[in-house]
Structure formats: structure tokens, C-alpha cells
């Protein structure tokens, strides 16, 4: 089975432990990544992680995924809402991707409701905190098993 999932976090996600706990909970970024890798191991998926606060680095990482990943979990942070550069790079990968947000972006400021990557993704999970990543991994596993 194809089982390599690339988990990519964008801008400000590395600061998780310092961000508003009302939206993002109390976990640090390191704890979040551990939780995701445990969930992935349970599901028989291999994960690699990438985080950057630099849009170009995020784009170039997407460029380099060919042959290295079978699927993607993406939380681009604020870039979700406006980065057409990331959208185009995601399209280039041709990989099935799930968009994840820790917070309930649809119930926050209006600008957070718009996602430029949504139509390229096979699914979206928002507002479920760290558990949302497990749900995304489950969705991808079901897809990769087909
Ligand atoms: C986020 C939601 C975005 O609107 C915000 O800019 C983030 C995090 C989330 O995980 O809820 O940085 O993607």
C-alpha cells in the first residue's frame, strides 16, 4: 500500500504554544507533531513533517515531493486564505491532500472563511483541534487503500 504522508505546517504554526488557547488549545507544536506521528503509526502510515514561516520555502518543499510522498496533510496557517503561489504548487504535486485547521475557521473573522486551496483538496477538517489531524489521516488512508 502507498502509505507515505507528508504533513506540512505553514506560517506561525511553530508558535502554537504561544497562540490564543481559545482557538488553538494548549499544545505546543512539538506535542502536536508527536500526537500526529502516533496517530499515523496506529493507522500504518509513514509521516514526514515540514514547517516553515517562509512562503517560498513552503512552495519549494511542495516542488520537491515528487516520488517522496503519496498524500498530503496541509495546514498552511494564514497562507490558506490568500496564497495563490502555494495553491499552484499544491496543484503541481498532483497528490491527494486534506486541508486541516485546528480552529473553526468558519466561525471566526470572515477572511478566514475563504481558502484558496480548498477546491484542490480531497477533504477538509476544521475546528477539531489536534484530533482533526487523525481524522485527516484516516480519510487519506481510506483513499490510499483503494
Ligand atoms: C489556522 C487558521 C488560520 O486562519 C490561522 O491563520 C492559522 C491557523 C488553524 O489551524 O486554525 O495560523 O490554520
User: Of the listed 24, 61, 81, 114, which one is catalytic?
Assistant: 24
Q: Is 101 a catalytic site residue? A: yes
| pTM above threshold 0.85 | yes
The closest alpha carbon to 37, from 137, 121, 127, 126, belongs to 137
pLDDT (tens digit per residue) in 28-55: 999 999 999 999 999 999 999 999 999 9
With the most atoms of ligand 1 within 8 angstroms of its CB, the residue from 103, 121, 135 to mutate is 103
Measured CA to CA, the distance from residue 99 to residue 83 in angstroms comes to: 14
Strand partners, 72: 6, 97
pLDDT at 1: 73
The pLDDT of residue 119 is: 98
If you measure from the C-alpha of residue 68 to the centroid of ligand 1, how many angstroms do you get, rounded to a whole number? 26
Residue minimizing CA distance to atom 7 of ligand 1: 77
For the chain, the helix, strand and coil percentages under 3-state DSSP, each to the nearest 5: 50, 20, 30
Question: Using CA atoms, how far apart are residues 100 and 93, in angstroms rounded to an integer?
Answer: 18
What's residue 71's pLDDT?
Answer: 98
Q: Write out residues in the chain with pLDDT < 70, as ranges.
A: none
Question: Whose alpha carbon is nearest atom 9 of ligand 1?
Answer: 101
Amino acid at each position: 500500500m502507498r502509505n507515505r504522508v507528508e504533513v506540512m505546517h505553514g506560517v506561525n504554526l511553530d508558535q502554537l504554544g504561544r497562540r490564543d488557547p481559545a482557538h488553538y488549545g494548549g499544545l505546543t507544536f512539538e506535542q502536536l507533531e508527536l500526537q500526529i506521528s502516533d496517530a499515523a503509526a496506529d493507522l500504518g502510515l509513514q509521516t514526514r513533517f515540514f514547517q516553515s514561516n517562509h512562503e517560498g520555502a513552503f512552495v519549494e518543499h511542495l516542488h520537491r515531493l515528487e516520488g517522496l510522498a503519496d498524500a498530503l496533510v496541509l495546514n498552511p496557517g494564514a497562507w490558506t486564505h490568500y496564497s495563490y503561489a502555494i495553491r499552484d504548487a499544491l496543484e503541481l504535486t498532483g497528490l491527494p491532500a486534506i486541508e486541516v485547521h485546528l480552529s473553526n475557521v468558519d466561525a471566526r473573522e470572515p477572511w478566514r472563511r475563504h481558502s484558496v486551496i480548498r477546491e484542490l483538496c480531497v477533504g477538509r477538517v476544521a475546528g477539531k483541534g489536534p484530533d482533526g489531524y487523525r481524522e485527516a489521516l484516516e480519510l487519506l488512508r481510506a483513499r490510499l487503500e483503494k
